[in-house]
């Protein structure tokens, strides 16, 4: 805008000077036009009017002045600076609890073949109790997966069974405790719960018969207690490992091609193990010996002595 005004001033000044010179030549007696050497152009009114009449019409486009045009121009970003940010997907985090404290206890006090050092565990009962409180304060939510639930409830069952033994230790058998599976010493959320409810009302209804190899009844004939905690991301492989281990455990089952003598667990929970065939079909999924379809099946006596 300032440049435009300056240009207009110069044009008027030159035009005025030329006009005045011509007027002076044509009218010697006219009053001289005084043109001071300054930023302002001062001319007499008659002379100016005459000059305007004789000056060719000049058309200048003056840009419209708006409020925005008076602001500082915005600096344009280069193509390198103008980057479209792709939406960043939310990182999924686990909604379940951390079972590592229970895992540490199991690794420390349970052998590879399932013998439990209850005397040592009793010295660290506070750690076990803290984990059971963790179980109580982190009840399962609707968003949990089946594997989350399997890991949670099998760990809860095993931790509470150990706690039951420690409450009555020393003892030679879980069956020496009055109504062991009906005792309500523990909570999940606001609900007081017992071992029977966890096993029969929750875990068995999840339609995975391998849970019987994962939960431990603190007895010799029971599938050995695993010396690590269940975790959701590998609970399936953990249960598979336990199934293979138990079915082929010669101390608890005897299997040949024509005859099998197996744990009473397979009799007590036959409905769970025969959902996709008979008991031999189930055993053949994990047995290292191929069992004939017409093999004779018998069940062994159960040893309830403590798994120490």
Domain boundary among 36, 64, 92: 64
User: pLDDT by residue (tens digit) across 82-132?
Assistant: 343 444 443 333 457 999 999 999 999 999 999 999 999 999 999 999 999
Is 63 a residue whose pLDDT tops 50? no
Beta-sheet strands, E only, within 134-253:
186-188, 191-193
Half-sphere exposure at residue 74, Cβ-oriented, CA atoms within 13 angstroms: 4
Listed residue (216, 226, 231) closest to 100, CA to CA:
231
Q: Look at residue 81 and tell me if it is in a domain.
A: no
Using only C-alpha atoms, what is the Rg of the chain?
Answer: 48
Q: Look at residue 80 and tell me if it is in a domain.
A: no
Q: Look at residue 268 and tell me if it is in a domain.
A: yes
CA distance 119 to 160: 16
| CA dihedral of 77, 79, 80, 82, whole degrees rounded to 10 | 60
Q: Are residues 111 and 244 in the same domain?
A: yes
User: pLDDT by residue (tens digit) across 113-127?
Assistant: 999 999 999 999 999
Q: Are residues 154 and 223 in the same domain?
A: yes
Q: Look at residue 122 and tell me if it is in a domain.
A: yes
Q: Look at residue 307 and tell me if it is in a domain.
A: no
pTM, two decimals, is 0.70
With left for phi above 0 and alpha for psi between -120 and 50, is residue 207 left, alpha or beta? left
Q: Are residues 21 and 133 in the same domain?
A: no
Domain boundary among 64, 92, 110: 64
Cis before 170? omega within 30 = yes
> Which whole number is the average pLDDT over 284-295?
98
Q: Look at residue 132 and tell me if it is in a domain.
A: yes
How many domains in the chain? Answer: 2
Q: Are residues 52 and 173 in the same domain?
A: no
Q: Are residues 131 and 216 in the same domain?
A: yes
Task: State the DSSP code for 199.
Answer: I
Q: Are residues 171 and 252 in the same domain?
A: yes
Task: State the DSSP code for 306.
Answer: B
Q: Are residues 145 and 268 in the same domain?
A: yes
With left for phi above 0 and alpha for psi between -120 and 50, is residue 114 left, alpha or beta? left
Lowest mean pLDDT across 33-37, 90-94, 239-243, 297-301: 90-94
> At which residue do the structure tokens 């010396």 appear?
227
Listed residue (33, 30, 3, 31) closest to 16, CA to CA:
33
Q: Look at residue 144 and tell me if it is in a domain.
A: yes
Q: Are residues 109 and 256 in the same domain?
A: yes
Strands across the sheet with 296-299, in order? 254-255, 259-262, 296-299
Q: What is the pLDDT of residue 96?
A: 72
Structure tokens at 107: 């690794």
Is 146 a residue whose pLDDT tops 50? yes
Q: Are residues 32 and 112 in the same domain?
A: no
What are the angstrom distances between the C-alpha of 13 and each of 9, 10, 42, 295?
6, 5, 10, 123
Q: Which domain holds residue 124?
A: 100-299
Q: Are residues 36 and 172 in the same domain?
A: no
Q: Are residues 114 and 26 in the same domain?
A: no
Structure tokens at 308: 């120490």
Provide the β-strand partners of residue 110.
116
Q: Are residues 10 and 126 in the same domain?
A: no
Query: For strand 191-193 and strand 186-188, is the pairing parallel, antiparallel, or unpaired?
Result: antiparallel
Q: Look at residue 240 and tell me if it is in a domain.
A: yes
């Amino acid at each position: 805008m300032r440049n435009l005004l300056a240009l207009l001033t110069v044009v008027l000044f030159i035009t005025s000077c030329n006009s005045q010179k011509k007027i002076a030549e044509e009218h010697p007696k006219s009053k001289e036009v005084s043109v001071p050497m300054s930023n302002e152009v001062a001319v007499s009114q008659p002379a100016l009017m005459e000059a305007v009449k004789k000056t060719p019409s000049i058309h200048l486009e003056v840009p419209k002045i708006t409020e925005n045009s008076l602001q500082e121009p915005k600096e344009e970003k280069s193509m390198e600076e103008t980057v479209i940010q792709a939406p960043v997907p939310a990182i999924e985090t686990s909604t379940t609890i951390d079972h590592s404290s229970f895992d540490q206890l199991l690794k420390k006090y349970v052998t590879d073949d399932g013998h439990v050092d209850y005397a040592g565990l009793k010295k660290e009962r506070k750690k076990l109790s803290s984990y059971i409180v963790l179980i109580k304060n982190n009840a399962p939510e609707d968003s949990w997966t089946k594997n989350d639930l399997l890991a949670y409830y099998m760990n809860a069952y095993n931790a509470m069974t150990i706690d039951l033994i420690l409450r009555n230790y020393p003892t030679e058998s879980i069956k020496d405790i009055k109504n062991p599976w009906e005792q309500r010493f523990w909570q999940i959320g606001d609900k007081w719960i017992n071992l029977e409810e966890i096993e029969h009302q929750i875990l068995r209804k999840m339609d995975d018969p391998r849970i019987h190899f994962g939960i431990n009844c603190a007895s010799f004939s029971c599938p050995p207690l695993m010396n690590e905690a269940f975790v959701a991301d590998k609970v399936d492989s953990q249960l598979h490992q336990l199934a293979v281990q138990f079915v082929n455990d010669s101390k608890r089952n005897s299997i040949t091609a024509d005859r099998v003598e197996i744990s009473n667990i397979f009799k007590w929970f036959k409905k769970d193990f025969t959902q996709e065939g008979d008991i031999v079909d189930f055993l053949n999924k994990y047995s290292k010996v191929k069992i004939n379809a017409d093999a004779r099946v018998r069940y062994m006596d159960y040893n309830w002595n403590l798994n120490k």
